[in-house]
Structure 1
Amino acid sequence: MSTSPAKKSKTTMKIGTHSGTFHADESLAVYMLRLLPRFADAEIVRSRDQAVLEECDVIVDVTGQYDGVKFFDHHQREFTDTFSADFHTRLSSAGLVYKHFGKEIIAEVCGLDDDAEALDTLYLRVYKNFVEAIDANDNGVDAYPTDISPKFKPHGITLPSLVSQLNPFWTEPSDDDALMQRFLIASDLMGTAFKRHVESQGKSWLPAKQFVQKAFADRFQYDNEGRIIVFDDFVPWKEHLFEVERDAGMVGKVLYVLYSDGKGWRIQAVPEAPTSFQSRKALPEAWRGARDEKLDAICGIDGSVFVHVAGFIGGNKTRQGALDMAKLALAL
């Protein structure tokens, strides 16, 4: 999506932001705006000259003004806005643009213009899972209490840190043209990650729910207590399964999920929570770390491929073999 600001027509829309060092929030804000057809070919103006910025159609992260129409800055002392009353993170320019244009952006990226329920779901989910972290970073909010020491340093691989590193070193040219070119790279970096995240939610995660609902409804054909569900192909099932169980008043009932990995079949233990590494019922201790013929001999099921040493996942060459492993694991 990168474009040079040179030789634009008088009718071309203009997106303004500040000159000098750039950051993750305005890099993303600009990209998000340019996902919309009316801003797709917009000229990017980087300046701190008020008169120059006033000529722009929309201005992000500069001028100390916010009206939700033309101005999207968050630096003014009196600004305390959050995404909604359910959030505590102060918005950055990225959050401001997303708050006002997010549903339109999602509809454009995922083709969901006529699905209001899906847009509402994705609008909140994308903010929670992507944009809020950018707001927090720009406003100096730590994800964890500062008295907790991390086991490694993650700062060099976060999106904001990668954007920061795209700014010129003190040994490199830092004129306006050089900074513009680097800003465009930063904007593409942030925007590509954002767009892919939106696509993953709207085109992968959301459609998977109907398959989880059907698999949950069909589960008693594999186990009379409904503890096994089966998918013909992999779908992102974890969060949906917890929601489907909750809606049915049966939280914790499903213990194993089976699906094809394209070559064979996997058996996965359902975690205690969607992001937990602890399983409701891990695969048997005796199977863990074993592979192929050795695993066949231990569990007595042909075609066994492996069981992870932590017991949360295993594999078999066939659907029936994976199902037999799941049924036996329930009995042990």
Structure 2
Amino acid sequence: MAENAAKRLKTGSGIVTIGTHNGHFHADEALAVYMLRTHIPAYSGARLVRTRDPKLLDECHTVVDVGGEYDPARNRYDHHQRTFATSFPDRPTKLSSAGLVYLHFGREIVARRLAQPEDSPQVGMVWRKLYESFIEALDAHDNGISVYDAAALAAAGLEKQFSDGGFTLGAMVGRLNPNWNDPIPEDPAAAQEAEDRRFELASQRIGEEFDRDLDYFTRAWLPAREVVAEAFAARHEYDSEGRIVVLKRQAAPWKDHLYSLEEQEPQGGKVLYVLYPEKPVPGAKWRIQCVPVAKDSFQSRRPLPEAWRGSRDEELDGLSGISGCVFVHASGFIGGNKTFEGALAMAKKALDI
């Protein structure tokens, strides 16, 4: 998909121009512009035109988030038209301009970072993960889609216990718009120039966050897949039912990969505890961490025994009957021992309680 998008670009006639709307800006077009200008070579040095004038937009090579048209063949990526209903493959959220640009150019972005073909499994894995972990939230925010169903929350009688300040990725960009009572230059051209400077700052800011995730998922998250897969395959060495996974060399991002591997072996049972050394050095202490019921949940599939929680050192040794204990968190989601053998003993005993 991204490869075809790149082939459509015709840059021989001069500098490519990207058009988007002026006025109040949002995270989706700020990121869409950033992805094109920073990660797609054909758009390097592209000139940006912020306007709602149809005639000026018609002159632009590529238009995002304005114009009322979604036509990849003509490099038009708007999502505001009544008939628009496009979403990322196998995801329910309607796309914004960020999602549209990522849908068509994201594989190229990931492939260039990994130095692999766009159709490689690794590129596809990161392409999807980066959408679900970063882009989709912007798509939902711009389309007015809440994280939770408001009616279901009301029916359950659930309310926020405190204010989170509304600090989302979208809000981060929104804060860079001028305040209602900020002075505006009287000259229209100067006013537009001042507004465009703010947009450029916003585009760079959201782009920096995108690049951090791109780096993380390509340089840390993806390599962890092999580490977790190796440990998952060896899980029956420590428990006949495969409920304990041991990351032998060092800790690695394991949750996403563990859930994925379990889905591939639905008859294999669920992992309850993951063991790993605190540091990749000889003699390091070991951690035992409970697997959450879901990636972002604070609820564990099986917390460490209630009697151990909130205890440390010799006291915990006495309560557990296991030497070398360091601690167990008050909520029971994680604990520690001075040795691998001790951490494994904690895991096995927790399975039997």
TM-score, normalisation: structure 1: 0.88
In structure 1, C-alpha distance between the alignment counterparts of 2:178 and 2:201, rounded to whole Å = 12
Query: What is aligned with 1:4?
Result: none
RMSD: 2.3
Query: What is aligned with 1:243?
Result: 260
Compared CA separation, residues 280 and 80, structure 1 to 2 (3 A): closer
Task: Indicate whether 1:289 and 2:310 are aligned.
Answer: yes
Q: After superposition, give the CA deviation of every residue in 1:139-158 in whole Å (9 maximum; x if it has no partner).
A: 22222222433333345311
The correspondence of residues 81-120 of structure 1 with structure 2, limited to 5 A, is 81-84=86-89, 86-113=90-117, 116-120=120-124
Task: Indicate whether 1:126 and 2:130 are aligned.
Answer: yes
Q: After superposition, give the CA deviation of every residue in 1:267-317 in whole Å (9 maximum; x if it has no partner).
A: 012233334333232211111001223222322333322101111110122
Compared CA separation, residues 218 and 91, structure 1 to 2 (3 A): closer
Task: Indicate whether 1:188 and 2:207 are aligned.
Answer: no
Compared CA separation, residues 327 and 185, structure 1 to 2 (3 A): same
Compared CA separation, residues 103 and 316, structure 1 to 2 (3 A): same
Task: Indicate whether 1:199 and 2:215 are aligned.
Answer: yes
Q: After superposition, give the CA deviation of every residue in 1:94-149 in whole Å (9 maximum; x if it has no partner).
A: 11111111111121233333652222223233223322221221122222222433
Task: Kindly indicate whether the alpha-carbon contact (under 8 Å) linking 1:242 and 1:251 is maintained by their aligned counterparts in 2.
Answer: no
Task: Kindly indicate whether the alpha-carbon contact (under 8 Å) linking 1:110 and 1:199 is maintained by their aligned counterparts in 2.
Answer: no
The correspondence of residues 55-66 of structure 1 with structure 2, limited to 5 A, is 55-66=59-70
3-state secondary structure, aligned to 2:175: helix
Uncovered stretches (5+) of structure 1, i.e. residues with no partner: 1-9
Query: What is aligned with 2:3?
Result: none
The correspondence of residues 145-164 of structure 1 with structure 2, limited to 5 A, is 145-147=149-151, 148=153, 149-154=159-164, 156-164=166-174
Task: Kindly indicate whether the alpha-carbon contact (under 8 Å) linking 1:269 and 1:283 is maintained by their aligned counterparts in 2.
Answer: yes
Most deviating of 148-157 and 163-172 = 148-157
In structure 1, C-alpha distance between the alignment counterparts of 2:207 and 2:94, rounded to whole Å = 21
User: How far apart are 1:244 and its partner, in Å?
Assistant: 2.1
Identity %: 50
Query: What is aligned with 1:6?
Result: none
Compared CA separation, residues 169 and 133, structure 1 to 2 (3 A): same
Task: Indicate whether 1:305 and 2:326 are aligned.
Answer: yes
Task: Indicate whether 1:321 and 2:315 are aligned.
Answer: no
Compared CA separation, residues 88 and 296, structure 1 to 2 (3 A): closer
In structure 1, C-alpha distance between the alignment counterparts of 2:163 and 2:107, rounded to whole Å = 35
Task: Indicate whether 1:223 and 2:239 are aligned.
Answer: yes
3-state secondary structure, aligned to 1:315: strand
Query: What is aligned with 2:275?
Result: 258
Query: What is aligned with 2:23?
Result: 20
In structure 2, C-alpha distance between the alignment counterparts of 1:184 and 1:135, rounded to whole Å = 20
Task: Indicate whether 1:168 and 2:178 are aligned.
Answer: yes
Task: Kindly indicate whether the alpha-carbon contact (under 8 Å) linking 1:155 and 1:161 is maintained by their aligned counterparts in 2.
Answer: no
Task: Indicate whether 1:272 and 2:293 are aligned.
Answer: yes
Compared CA separation, residues 141 and 243, structure 1 to 2 (3 A): closer
Task: Kindly indicate whether the alpha-carbon contact (under 8 Å) linking 1:156 and 1:162 is maintained by their aligned counterparts in 2.
Answer: no
Moved over 6 A (4+): none
Task: Kindly indicate whether the alpha-carbon contact (under 8 Å) linking 2:15 and 2:47 is maintained by their aligned counterparts in 1.
Answer: yes
User: How far apart are 1:254 and its partner, in Å?
Assistant: 2.5
Equivalent pairs, count: 322
Compared CA separation, residues 189 and 152, structure 1 to 2 (3 A): farther
